[in-house]
Amino acid sequence: MLKEKFVDYIRFERRFSGHTITAYQHDLQQFADYLAFQYNLQDISLANHSMIRSWLVSLLSDKMTSRSVNRKLSTLKSFYRFCKKQGIISENPMSRIVSLKTSVKLPAFLEKESTEKLVSMVSSSDGFEHLRDAMIVLMFYTTGMRLSELCSLTHQSVDISKQTVRVHGKRNKERIIPLGSPLLNLLEKYLDAKKEYLKSYSIPNKTESLFVTTKGKPVYQRLVYEIVHSNLSGVSTLEKLSPHLLRHTFATQMLNEGADLNAIKEILGHASLAATQVYTHNTIEKLKSIYNQAHPRA
């Protein structure tokens, strides 16, 4: 089927992440269901721009945000480009569809005082499970890596002598991130505790994964999310206490301390500088706040 061929294309040729592939599949199925119900059309490659616009209107009527609608538009753009490339269609219906305007949403981040409290709280950890949780939290905060990237780390990912970690990001792009001495010291402590724990409970060490569960299996995203959420809840009252919050915090604090924007871009693994520049807005907002509080004519 056409949809399956498209999924193979974005998985093997474009090397999209598993999360993106799942989102694209959901979007296409949602669009297909709409066409079947509204127009009795079973082949989505035959949809025209009017049908696509009609779907967008229905999404907005259901109170979907412009940002979410634009993500679905991105799915359709990729799909119909694929159809055109394969010679399935002669005209791309998306050529007459314009993305919706969206407001820039500034990424939330932890204040320096909160991160200092967090680091102090987890750095005193002891025992395999607590050391693992501390390493996970600090790895996010000190490298800015993504949730999926952390879960895929292996022992070979870390080069202790060079003080670096090798990360495989979106579309399998590889990047190398420096690691500080405090984190490496905690890492060595964690690895010793992990080895002793697995040995004492006779758990076979069959995985190369850097972070493992209490059963010796690779950590999974839900578990890591819960670990981060639990630790962050002790230092912050922000609404979404996630690994991505630590990624935003890493980037914002780096920028506030004078780091070069291009360097931050490379560490985060952004495809373009535009994705990194959103963090400059946080810095500008901070400057405005200081100005309004301190200047007599503000």
Convert the pLDDT of each residue in 75-85 to its tens digit. 999 999 999 99
- The residue length of the chain stands at 298
Give the span between the Cα atoms of 33 and 58, in whole angstroms: 13
Convert the pLDDT of each residue in 41-89 to its tens digit. 999 999 999 999 999 999 999 989 888 999 999 999 999 999 999 999 9
- Return the higher-pLDDT residue of 283 and 127: 127
Q: Are residues 42 and 73 in the same domain?
A: yes
Q: Is 146 a catalytic residue?
A: yes
- 221-233 exposure pattern, b = at least 16 Cβ within 10 A, e = fewer: eeebeebbeebbe
Q: From the CB of residue 30, how many other CB atoms can be counted at a distance below 10 Å?
A: 14
CATH number at residue 198: 1.10.443.10
Last residue of a domain, one of 71, 96, 121: 96
Residue 103: exposure state from Cβ atoms within 10 A (0-12, 13-18, ≥19): exposed
What pLDDT sits at residue 204? Answer: 86
Last residue of a domain, one of 96, 122, 153: 96
Taking 60 as the threshold, does the pLDDT of residue 165 lie above it?
yes
Q: Is residue 297 part of a domain?
A: no
Give the span between the Cα atoms of 290 and 285, in whole angstroms: 9
Q: Is residue 298 part of a domain?
A: no
Q: What is the chain's mean pLDDT, rounded?
A: 91
- Mapping DSSP to helix (H, G, I), strand (E, B) and coil, where does residue 166 land? strand
Convert the pLDDT of each residue in 131-145 to its tens digit. 999 999 999 999 999
Q: Is residue 267 part of a domain?
A: yes
pLDDT band at 33 (very low <50, low <70, confident <90, very high): very high
What pLDDT sits at residue 62? Answer: 92
Q: Is 81 a catalytic residue?
A: no
- Please count the structural domains in the chain: 2
| Contact criterion met (CB below 8 Å) for 208 and 191 | no
pLDDT band at 121 (very low <50, low <70, confident <90, very high): very high
- Taking residues 15-37, what's their average pLDDT? 94
Owning domain of residue 124: 112-292
pLDDT band at 30 (very low <50, low <70, confident <90, very high): very high
Q: Is 155 a catalytic residue?
A: no
Residue 191: exposure state from Cβ atoms within 10 A (0-12, 13-18, ≥19): middle
| Contact criterion met (CB below 8 Å) for 155 and 264 | no
Q: Are residues 174 and 245 in the same domain?
A: yes
Q: Is 281 a catalytic residue?
A: no
Residue 204, amino acid? P
Q: Is residue 64 part of a domain?
A: yes
Convert the pLDDT of each residue in 236-287 to its tens digit. 999 899 999 999 999 999 988 888 889 999 999 998 888 888 887 666 556 5
CATH number at residue 38: 1.10.150.130
What pLDDT sits at residue 296? Answer: 61
Contacts of 274 by beta carbon, 8 Å cutoff, 6+ apart: none
Please report the DSSP string for 263-281 in residue order: HHHHHHT-SSHHHHTHHHH
What pLDDT sits at residue 279? Answer: 81
* Catalytic, out of 146, 194, 248, 265: 146
- Taking residues 208-223, what's their average pLDDT? 96
| Contact criterion met (CB below 8 Å) for 90 and 233 | no
What pLDDT sits at residue 172? Answer: 82
Q: Is 170 a catalytic residue?
A: yes
| Contact criterion met (CB below 8 Å) for 148 and 21 | no
What percent of the chain stands above pLDDT 90? Answer: 75
Q: Is residue 194 part of a domain?
A: yes
* Catalytic, out of 34, 80, 197, 279: 279
* Catalytic, out of 170, 189, 229, 281: 170
* Catalytic, out of 53, 166, 244, 281: 244
Interhelix angle 112-123/128-143, rounded to 10 degrees, is 150
Give the span between the Cα atoms of 175 and 191, in whole angstroms: 23
What pLDDT sits at residue 103? Answer: 66
pLDDT band at 100 (very low <50, low <70, confident <90, very high): confident
pLDDT band at 150 (very low <50, low <70, confident <90, very high): very high
- Return the higher-pLDDT residue of 40 and 171: 40
What pLDDT sits at residue 290? Answer: 57
- Taking residues 188-210, what's their average pLDDT? 93
Long-range contacts of 84-88 (CB under 8 A, 24+ apart): 86/5, 88/2, 88/45
Quote the DSSP letter at residue 163: T
Q: Is 49 a catalytic residue?
A: no
